[in-house]
Amino acid sequence: MATPGNPPTTHSLAEGVAGSAPASDESVGALLSASRSLALVLALLAGLLFLIFLAFTVLDVVFGRGAGDLITAVYCLVSAAVNLVIWREMPRLEQLAAARQYAALRDHLLIWAVLGIIFFVVVGVLLLLAWIKVELLATPPPA
């Protein structure tokens, strides 16, 4: 708040996302670490959901009601595979962040963030936040 003795404070985009702390290597690493753990959990959950929906599909086919849950089962299987691949890719992304290779990290993060958003949103959102922070680290502040 601006008072006669204190000028109004402004936050530039380079100071962080949505009023958060400034982008740093630690915050990117924390987001990547959280994404890695969550990707594994979601891969396991999606695999379990695949088995459940596949069982329902088999029962529907056996009792002559069609295969209504087949599309959902296939989506869960693909989601499990994508989240497992994201989980396997995370150590490489963490190495890029530790080496401060922001250009390569930015490109890889965007690809995995989009796939993560399509297949079980949560991991994709975390990766998108990491991408934004890497973008802030990679772009020098204006002079």
Pair of tokens at residue 109: 């993060």
For the chain, report the end-to-end CA distance as a whole number of angstroms. 25
Q: Positive or negative, the Cα torsion across 24, 21, 133, 95?
A: positive
CA dist 137 and 101 (Å) reads 10
pLDDT per residue as tens digits for the range 74-101: 888 898 999 999 999 999 999 988 888 8
**What mean pLDDT, rounded, does the chain reach?**
80
Q: Is pLDDT at 63 greater than 50 in this prediction? A: yes
Beta bridge pairs of residue 3 = 6
Higher-confidence residue of 97 and 5: namely 97
Range scoring the smallest mean pLDDT among 8-12, 67-71, 102-106: 8-12
Calculate ∠ Cα 133-20-105, nearest 5°: 10
Give pTM, 2 decimals.
Answer: 0.73
